[in-house]
Amino acid sequence: MARNGFTSPIFAVPTLGLAALCLASLALSTPLHAQSSESVPLKVDELKGDPAPDTLRRYANSNTVTILTGGTRASHIDLTSDLSDILNSVEDGQFSLRVVPLVGEGGRQNALDVLYLRGVDMAIVQTDVLAYMRGESPIFYKNIDRQIRYITQLNREEWHVLAGPAIKSLSDLKGKTINISTPFSSNYITSRSILELLGTRAKYTTFSDGVALEKLRAGEIDAVAILAAAPSTLIQSIKKEDNLQLLPVTFYEKSVYDVPFKNTLEHFYLPASLRHEHYPDLIPENQAVASVSAGTVLAVYNWPKGSERHRRVKKFTEAFFKKLGAFYEPGRHPKWREVNIAAEVPGWRRFGIAETELARLQQENQNSTVSFSQAQLVEFEAFKAFLAGEDGSSLSGSMTPDQERELYRRFLEWRQSSSQ
């Protein structure tokens, strides 16, 4: 059995000939969008007067980055919308940084689009995708972590398995039909990986999630697996009269290799809990259903230093780390509070600029007489933004950085004592 529980039978593909392997290696070393010519960055001063259309086009492209969402799931669209809203910067009526969200396919396709699709800079990708692709074709994707890096870990998504009343557990799905969504989507990859590792030996269908739920209601299939941030609006649409249930998933079920689930998948999937507050029509009050969750990352192509595309992504990354606090303010998607910017992701390498920015924040924390945990450090950035005020004035204008930190520490103590 391969490391982390991924085995060749799960991801078997036809053997590639020598010529195909050579072409594959060449393709990985020279991504399609890496070969396109890039514009020389312009300054906003060069747009004064009556600039030519080509000048405007060059300026717009030199300050724009794109992010593929992980499909049409609400949490991914909301997260990328927050990135665009917070990081977009305007100088003299022109964007000096513009973040453009694009709806992606999710899963393996998002990773391939980062590698090969012109105009794509970043994408939301779940953490098990690179391992899946290596298992799918060990030679072709052997060094994929050299091409694709991550800027930050993002939120986690819960794995939901829905079935009719006759199915009581995942083991009851042996020989049954379960829908795992469209091929190579995030849901498809995670669902198939978990089900194969647990030795469920179910039959798979690949309808879209909404169509699959209708087929489950009609009794045409036995179960539906959906990877989505809880609460999922699609699953919230299920009513008591549909007579469906969420199946529990624990870390102590056995795989086909008789290896504890925890030891097999702990690098990619973590325990999760689906609660009554998430799905009141499916889970009784004061009860919960055990499940697992898959992580996501903001993936980026590892552009060579000094290239135009590297300069653009560098600009985005630096802005992201400088404005971290804004993502935790009221009105932003609640899943931002799950983001651990310092988290190391197994099987992935961090983008160099993100590594530098993270080290800067951690060094500032170490040099201070008042230090915080990583989570508190990020919240402290939000606290400073609050002190600054929306009008640009600062309540802490006469404070030193350590005095600001001490004020925040006292605030944390007050919040803790007031909640007891």
295 with 381, same domain: the answer is no
Q: Mean pLDDT across the stretch 26-50?
A: 48
Most confident of 28-42, 45-59, 69-83, 294-308: 294-308
Band of the pLDDT at 354, cuts 50, 70, 90? Answer: very high
pLDDT at 19 over 50: no
pLDDT at 6 over 50: no
354 with 381, same domain: the answer is no
Q: Mean pLDDT across the stretch 392-419?
A: 60
Q: Mean pLDDT across the stretch 289-313?
A: 92
Domain containing 310 equals 3-360
340 with 380, same domain: the answer is no
What residue has token string 């059995």? 1
386 with 304, same domain: the answer is no
List Cβ neighbours of 36 (8 Å cut-off, separation of 6 or more).
118
pLDDT at 122 over 90: yes
Q: What is the pLDDT of residue 35?
A: 37
243 with 95, same domain: the answer is yes
pLDDT at 346 over 50: yes
What residue has token string 């991504």? 31
C-alpha 299/C-alpha 27 separation (Å) is: 19
pLDDT at 399 over 90: no
Answer with the one of 360, 379, 401 that is the final residue of a domain: 360
List Cβ neighbours of 329 (8 Å cut-off, separation of 6 or more).
382, 385, 386
> Cβ(299)–Cβ(150) under 8 Å?
yes
Q: Does 380 or 388 have the greater pLDDT score?
A: 380
pLDDT at 118 over 70: yes
Q: Mean pLDDT across the stretch 111-127?
A: 93
Could you tell me the CATH number of the domain that includes residue 319?
3.40.190.10
388 with 353, same domain: the answer is no
294 with 329, same domain: the answer is yes
Band of the pLDDT at 258, cuts 50, 70, 90? Answer: very low
Answer with the one of 316, 335, 360 that is the final residue of a domain: 360
286 with 388, same domain: the answer is no
Q: Does 220 or 345 have the greater pLDDT score?
A: 220
Look over the chain and give the mean of its residue pLDDT values, rounded to a whole number. Answer: 78
C-alpha 348/C-alpha 131 separation (Å) is: 9
The structural domain count of the chain equals: 2
**Rounded alpha-carbon distances, angstroms, from residue 176 to 122, 164, 220, 235, 353:** 38, 12, 11, 21, 48
351 with 381, same domain: the answer is no
Which run of H or E residues covers position 269?
A: strand 269-275
C-alpha 33/C-alpha 206 separation (Å) is: 30
pTM: 0.74
Band of the pLDDT at 256, cuts 50, 70, 90? Answer: very low
Q: Mean pLDDT across the stretch 79-85?
A: 93
- Ranking 26-30, 282-286, 317-321 by mean pLDDT, the lowest is 26-30
pLDDT at 96 over 70: yes
pLDDT at 103 over 50: yes
Band of the pLDDT at 142, cuts 50, 70, 90? Answer: confident
* 367: three-class secondary structure by DSSP: helix
Q: What is the pLDDT of residue 314?
A: 95
Q: What is the pLDDT of residue 237?
A: 92
86 with 174, same domain: the answer is yes
118 with 39, same domain: the answer is yes
Answer with the one of 360, 378, 402 that is the final residue of a domain: 360
* DSSP conformation class of 179: E
276 with 402, same domain: the answer is no
